[in-house]
A = this chain, B = another copy of it.
Amino acid sequence: MHGIYLVTDQTLCLGRPLASIVADAVRAGIACVQLREKTASTRKFLNQALALKPVLASAGIPLIINDRVDIALAAGADGVHLGQSDMPYDAARRLMGSNAIIGLSVETWADVEAAQNLDVAYLGVSPVFATPTKTDTRSPWGLDGLARIRAYSRHSLVAIGGLNAANAKEIIRAGADAVAVVSAICSAEDPFTAARNLVHCFDSSTDKET
């Protein structure tokens, strides 16, 4: 996982269709989309996933489903993102198969240690900074926490929580392989430009750092 990772939130799209925001972000060069629906019915969640799938597939961008293995399987998504209150990794891997992308949020150091032996595609370092988008998470890792995980973990790290073009550079410097954003794209006045700025920021940071 490498680049800008869009996590969707329909409620933060300012009334605009999620599909159009995702399409803008895809045009701007993001690396991955995680579809997150915390209140939608299964039917609506599935329909949203089915609508996004061809757009992302034709752009070669993986579609990751938040939490719901059933939605991922029914929509032919590329993977699932698991939080610590979601299905355990082993059960999800068994259902999703060996080729699926499985990401895992880590909120405590114990989570980071436990993930070391799991065949996850990435760890979601959550949250790096305090954010109003997610209210059910632990205290923020901060840049120090992110750097500490980077030093310890064998996994790719996707940083999430309060991230935007203004702080992406320091996040990458602290060890993030990908920068996940929600409102920085979903709530942007111009989602395409916002996504493009993030992508440029990511690309220039990694060019200079590596």
Contact = CB atoms under 8 A, between A and B. Distances in A.
B87 A74 contact: yes
Interface string A71-104: 1011000000000111110011011000000000
Contacts of A95: 70, 73-74
Interface stretch (A40-48, A111-119, A160-168): A40-48
Q: Provide the main secondary structure of the chain A interface.
A: helix
* Copies assembled: 2
Contact of A74 (B44, B69, B71, B84): B69
A68 to B, nearest CB: 6
Given A46-B91, A91-B46, A41 B86 contact: yes
A107 interface: no
Category for how many chain A residues contact B: 20 to 34
Contacts of A94: 74
Nearest to A44: B85
Contacts of A87: 42-43, 46, 70, 74
A74 B91 contact: yes
Contacts of A86: 41-43
Interface of A: 41-44, 46, 67-71, 73-74, 84-88, 91-92, 94-95
